[in-house]
């Protein structure tokens, strides 16, 4: 693999199930980060009223953020990992194990290439 400054995954998904509670979604997103091979440094999350959840993980390798529109069953996911040691595409495998994805848009960008 060529050297890159990092890989940046932009992922939008629409799921069949309801978006889980903020605590359960946080657990799933942490599993996603671990699956990529990243190291979680810190995290924050917020439940919006009446609709929405945001979760941000600061990674040693960069970041993973999720913004969920609960009534729309839609999640927008952004994961940037510096270098080529982590694989942000593994996020999709974890999400597919928890949700039935009805539609998705994804783009993986090799940064600095």
Residues 6 or more apart from 21 whose CB is under 8 A from it?
none
Which domain, by its residues, includes 50? 6-111
Does the residue 98 lie in any domain?
yes
Q: What local confidence, expressed as pLDDT, does residue 65 receive?
A: 98
Q: What local confidence, expressed as pLDDT, does residue 2 receive?
A: 62
Q: How far apart are the first and last CA of the chain?
A: 12
pTM reported for the whole predicted model = 0.93
CATH of the domain at 30: 3.60.90.10
User: Which residues are catalytically annotated?
Assistant: 62, 67, 82
* Domain count for the chain: 1
pLDDT per residue, tens digit, the chain (113 aa), is 567 899 999 999 999 999 999 999 999 999 999 999 999 999 999 999 989 999 999 999 999 999 999 999 999 999 999 988 999 999 999 999 999 999 999 999 999 87
Q: What local confidence, expressed as pLDDT, does residue 4 receive?
A: 81
Does the residue 105 lie in any domain?
yes
């Amino acid at each position: 693999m060529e050297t890159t400054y990092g890989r940046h995954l932009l992922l939008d998904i629409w799921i069949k199930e309801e978006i889980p509670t903020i605590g359960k979604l946080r657990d799933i997103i942490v599993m996603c980060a671990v699956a990529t091979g990243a190291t979680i440094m810190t995290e924050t999350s917020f439940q919006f009223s009446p609709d929405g959840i945001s979760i941000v993980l600061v990674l040693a390798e960069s970041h993973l953020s999720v913004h969920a529109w609960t009534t729309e069953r839609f999640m927008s996911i952004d994961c940037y990992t510096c270098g080529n040691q982590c694989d942000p595409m593994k996020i999709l495998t974890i999400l597919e194990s928890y949700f039935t994805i009805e539609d998705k848009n994804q783009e993986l960008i090799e940064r600095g290439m």
